[in-house]
Amino acid sequence: MNLYKIKMIVCNNCGTENPDNARFCEECGTELDLIYCPSCGHGNTGDAKFCQECGASLTEEKDPDCPACNTGFLTESVHKGTLGIGDKVIYTCSHCGAVFEEKGDKYKLTRIHELNNPIWQKYKNKPLTFEEWTRIANGGVSDEEQRRIDREHKQREIQEAKALEQRKKQEVEEQRNRDINLFMDKLVNGNVNLTNSSTSPIIPKKNEKTNLVMNNVSFLEARSVRQTIGGYGGPSFRVAKGVSFRLGGVSARSVSHDEIKKIDQGTLILTNKRLIFLGDKKTVNIDLRKIVAIEPFNDGIGSQRENKQKTEYFTGTQNTSLNFTGESGRISLPLNGVVLRAAIMGNIAKLE
């Protein structure tokens, strides 16, 4: 009978003897001082120079080759299938217990000791090529993960480009609004020299200059409209089938109210002295010094002047634009009621 002496490993922490294949002390759980063979993964005592299992040198330096922990060494083994069918080639890490199963030209991580290992959580049961696992071991990622990162990076670039474009548009719009506010402030105070680019249809007076010409403008004024309201009053008596006789009389009353009506269509001209409307039927000549109030609208103005009770309305002025250059570039400002009122007030300010 042959007797084999079992070599025991003594724990440096508590002195308990443990089997030579143990990694942790059976008594206190301290990791045992073992040297794992880079060839077969066998745990050897700390003073061993060659593997007690396969005889490989334990003193030659070898870089860890496990992608899961970057600490242990992978050992190849073959798991036989039933009747030689379905043999599996696997690689087991001596440190973290990772098991890589060969699948054609790829390798699948199927097991590991620590389930919270980040490589396990990200790549468990995913067949990857040798190049991919090598890249992962060096801090890289798999091809699929790289494609996902590239897609996300591209999406971020697109989003950042859109955000940048939006910020630029917003900055341009904000600058445009500042330009308009500054221009309007100058306009209402008479600090803008308005020059008409089209031919003036009027004969100017002495020292009179045409500033603005607005075509297709409607002239409107309030007109009295009378309406008669009346009816028959009194009882009704039926004297025969389909025949009735009424007693009483007819009373009626006339009601008058104002309605703003279009009087004419034509051209509105603003000079440094007058506001003039030239229509097919009517001409309106307003001395700027006689204007007492201007009411702005989206499409024109209502003007009140001395010695005239009715307001005169001019609409359609927004179809003409007032152009100027600001820090944001060339700006075309529609002559709505607000802008036209500011231009008129600026000209009045110059007359004072």
pLDDT tens per residue across span 226-267? 666 655 555 655 555 555 555 555 455 556 677 899 999 999
Residue 4 has pLDDT above 50, yes or no: no
CATH 2.30.29.30-classified regions of the chain = 189-230+251-351
Band of the pLDDT at 6, cuts 50, 70, 90? very low
- How many whole angstroms separate alpha carbon 236 and alpha carbon 256? 32
Q: What's the mean pLDDT in 83-101?
A: 86
Band of the pLDDT at 284, cuts 50, 70, 90? very high
User: Which CATH fold topology does 189-230+251-351 show?
Assistant: PH-domain like (2.30.29)
Cβ-in-10-Å burial (0-12, 13-18, 19+) of 43 comes to: buried
What is the rounded average pLDDT for all residues in the chain?
85
Band of the pLDDT at 333, cuts 50, 70, 90? very high
The pTM score is 0.57
pLDDT of residue 5: 37
Residue 61 has pLDDT above 80, yes or no: no
Q: What's the mean pLDDT in 19-23?
A: 71
Count of Cβ atoms closer than 10 Å to residue 300 Cβ: 25
% residues pLDDT > 70 (the chain): 81
Residue 2 has pLDDT above 50, yes or no: no
Q: What's the mean pLDDT in 319-339?
A: 94
Band of the pLDDT at 321, cuts 50, 70, 90? very high
Band of the pLDDT at 25, cuts 50, 70, 90? confident
Which residues does 213 contact at the CB level (< 8 Å), separation at least 6? 196, 198, 199, 200, 201, 267, 268, 269, 320
Distance from CA of residue 237 to its chain's centroid?
78
Which residues does 92 contact at the CB level (< 8 Å), separation at least 6? 41, 74, 75, 77, 98, 99, 100
pLDDT of residue 51: 80
% residues pLDDT > 90 (the chain): 57
List, for residues 122-147, the tens digit of each pLDDT value.
999 999 999 999 999 889 999 999 99
Query: 37-51, 69-83, 197-211: which range is least confident on average?
Result: 37-51
Q: Which of 80, 127, 131, 82 is nearest to 100 (CA)?
A: 127
